[in-house]
Structure 1
Amino acid sequence: MDNRHAIGSWISGPRAAAEDMGVDFGYRGERLGLPKEGPGSVAGVGRRTGALFIDWALCVLIAYGLLSGGELRAANNWALALFALLGVTTLTTVGSTPGKRLMGLRVIAENGDRLGAVRVVARTLLLLLVVPALIWDRDGRGLHDRLARAVQVRI
């Protein structure tokens, strides 16, 4: 029986093993004072990924149709620049990109205020590097959000 328990804890991961030992991690966003579910709660990975793909597809379509002259390689380069511009302008002004708005998300500061322009630029530059967005904390925030002291919440 002990071997089965040891193998089961290894397969289910360190968090499940710690929870079996009585460690309480709480829910995502609890440390930030956010609700467990509903408006204002930390957005899930699926919604955030969906919003990212919508924004990227929009930028690729604009770049391909208007800026690249029908050349796909040039369209991808323009799309990256448009993605950065879209993120900075929309997050600074209204707090969400078109993809985030469609997915019911908003980016706010940890204290609940609107994210300032400097932090939006820093967050966007880190997002363009990709790797910081793939490293998450226990609240489900990417490193780019954590360093910018931002959190993506449901509307």
Structure 2
Amino acid sequence: MARWSESEIGSAASPGGGGGGGGYPGERFDLPATGTGSAAGFGRRLGALTIDWLLCYLIAGIFSGPDALASPNFSWLVMAVWFVLTAVAVAAFGITPGMAALGLRVASLRSTLVGVPRAVLRTALLALVLPALARDGDGRGWHDRAASTIVVRTRG
């Protein structure tokens, strides 16, 4: 499996900052403007998250049995499944099933892999929703900024 390295994301990456000065998203990280390796748009990211949530509903439903939706704790089970699936997949592979389906990947700005602590932080902030909606000029939410990551396209 290919790994993202600093040279693939650009050497001008800074963990903080607020986006480029009139350029395209990802320009300050030396990402291409379009195609493979460019910063992912909000629509694809939302689509990937939706696929992941639907998958987690299915997994939680399998564990809960036929009356899963009637259970008052079912939504918490779905959240727990989503949290584990997302944190483990991003830490180990930099990708979730939804991201794989839509051609996206979480790339670390600091090292080759995102790693467990930053993946857990990123996932916890993403679960709060608002950090993901507050985006900078590069399309990175607070969860990506806190974890020093950026979501990029793996297909053109």
The TM tier, using the shorter chain, reads 0.7 to 0.9
Q: 2:54 aligns with which of 53, 57, 67?
A: 57
Q: More deviation in 113-122 or 82-91?
A: 113-122
Higher helix residue share = 1
Distance, in Å, in 2 between the alignment partners of 1:71 and 1:104 is 31
Number of the residue aligned with 1:144: 143
Distance, in Å, in 2 between the alignment partners of 1:61 and 1:124 is 20
CA shift in 2, pair 1:80/1:68, >3 Å = farther
Distance, in Å, in 2 between the alignment partners of 1:93 and 1:111 is 15
Structure 2 SS opposite 1:39: coil
Distance, in Å, in 2 between the alignment partners of 1:111 and 1:74 is 38
Number of the residue aligned with 1:88: 87
> Aligned pairs, how many?
132
Q: Contact 2:92–2:115 at 8 Å: present in 1 too?
A: no
Number of the residue aligned with 2:12: none
Higher relative contact order (CA 8 A, sep 6+): 2
Distance, in Å, in 2 between the alignment partners of 1:126 and 1:76 is 18
Shift of 1:94: 1.3
Shift of 1:129: 1.0
Number of the residue aligned with 1:129: 128
Distance, in Å, in 1 between the alignment partners of 2:65 and 2:148 is 35
CA shift in 2, pair 1:56/1:71, >3 Å = same
Percent identity between the two aligned chains: 45
Distance, in Å, in 2 between the alignment partners of 1:105 and 1:80 is 22
Q: Contact 2:25–2:33 at 8 Å: present in 1 too?
A: yes
CA RMSD of aligned residues (A): 1.4
Number of the residue aligned with 2:74: 75
2:35 aligned with 1:38, yes or no? yes
Number of the residue aligned with 2:7: none
Unpaired segments ≥5 residues, structure 1: 1-23
Superposed CA deviations along residues 64-110 of structure 1, whole A, max 9, x for unmatched, are 22235523133211010000000111111111000000000000112
Q: Segments of 4+ in structure 1 off by > 4 A?
A: none
Q: Contact 1:68–1:75 at 8 Å: present in 2 too?
A: no
**Scaled by the length of structure 1, what TM-score is found?**
0.80
CA shift in 2, pair 1:119/1:88, >3 Å = same
What residue identity is the alignment partner of 1:110? L
CA shift in 2, pair 1:150/1:76, >3 Å = same
Distance, in Å, in 2 between the alignment partners of 1:40 and 1:114 is 16
